[in-house]
Amino acid sequence: MKAFKFGSRTLDLSRPAVMGILNATPDSFSDGGQLYSNGSIDLSKTLQAIETMLADGADIIDIGGESTRPGAKPVSVDQELARVIPIVEAVTSRFDTIISVDTSTAQVINQAAAAGASLINDVRALQREGALQAAVDSGLPVCLMHMQNQPDSMQANPHYQDVVAEVVDFLRQRKQTCLAAGIGPEQLLLDPGFGFGKTLEHNLTLFNGLGQLAAEGHPVLVGVSRKSMIGQLLNSQVDNRLIGSVTMALLAAQRVTEARGSLILRVHDVNETVQALDVWQQSSNKEFGK
Ligand code: 8Y4
Q: List, for residues 205-236, the tens digit of each pLDDT value.
A: 999 999 999 999 999 999 999 999 999 999 99
pLDDT bin (cut points 50, 70, 90) of residue 112 is: very high
The chain-wide mean pLDDT, for the chain, equals 95
Rounded to the nearest angstrom, the distance between the alpha carbon of 286 and the centre of ligand 1 is: 34
- Ligand 1 contact via 143 beta carbon (within 6 Å): yes
Q: How far is the CA of 146 from the centre of ligand 1 (A)?
A: 12
pLDDT above 70 as % of the chain: 98
| Residue positions counted in the chain | 290
The predicted model gives 250-271 an average pLDDT of: 98
The verdict on the CB of residue 25 being under 6 Å from ligand 1 is no
How far apart, in whole angstroms, are the C-alpha atoms of residue 142 and residue 189?
6
Q: Among 34, 83, 119, 121, say which to mutate for ligand 1: greatest number of ligand atoms within 8 Å of CB.
A: 121
Q: Report the pLDDT value the prediction gives residue 287, as an integer from 0 to 100.
A: 66
| Mean pLDDT computed over 125-138 | 98
- pLDDT band at residue 2 using 50, 70 and 90 as cut-offs: confident
Domains of the chain by residue range: 3-283
Q: What is the pLDDT of residues 36-65, one digit of tens each?
A: 887 788 899 999 999 999 999 999 999 999
Distance of alpha carbon 43 from alpha carbon 79, whole angstroms:
16
- Fold that domain 3-283 belongs to in CATH: TIM Barrel (3.20.20)
104 in Cβ contact with 122 (< 8 Å): yes
Element (DSSP H or E) covering residue 104: none
Active-site positions read 227, 266
Choice from 226, 237, 273 to test ligand 1 binding pocket (greatest atom count within 8 A of CB) = 226
Q: Is 144 in the pocket of ligand 1 (CB under 6 A)?
A: no
In percent, the amount of the chain with pLDDT more than 90 equals 86
pLDDT at 242 over 90: yes
The pLDDT value recorded for residue 285 is: 72
Task: State whether the beta carbon of 280 lies less than 6 angstroms from ligand 1.
Answer: no
Q: How confident is the model at residue 157 (pLDDT cuts 50, 70, 90)?
A: very high
Measuring from atom 7 of ligand 1, which residue has the nearest CA?
223
- CB 121 less than 6 A from any atom of ligand 1: yes
> Could you tell me the pLDDT band of residue 123, with boundaries at 50, 70 and 90?
very high
Sign, CA dihedral 34-35-40-45, equals: positive
Residue 69 pLDDT class (50, 70, 90 cuts): confident
Q: Is 221 in the pocket of ligand 1 (CB under 6 A)?
A: yes
- pLDDT at position 290: 52
In three-state secondary structure terms, 9 is strand
**Burial class of residue 287, CB neighbours in 10 A (0-12, 13-18, 19+):** exposed
Nearest-angstrom CA–CA distance, 119 and 121: 6
Task: Report, as an integer, the average pLDDT of 264-275.
Answer: 98
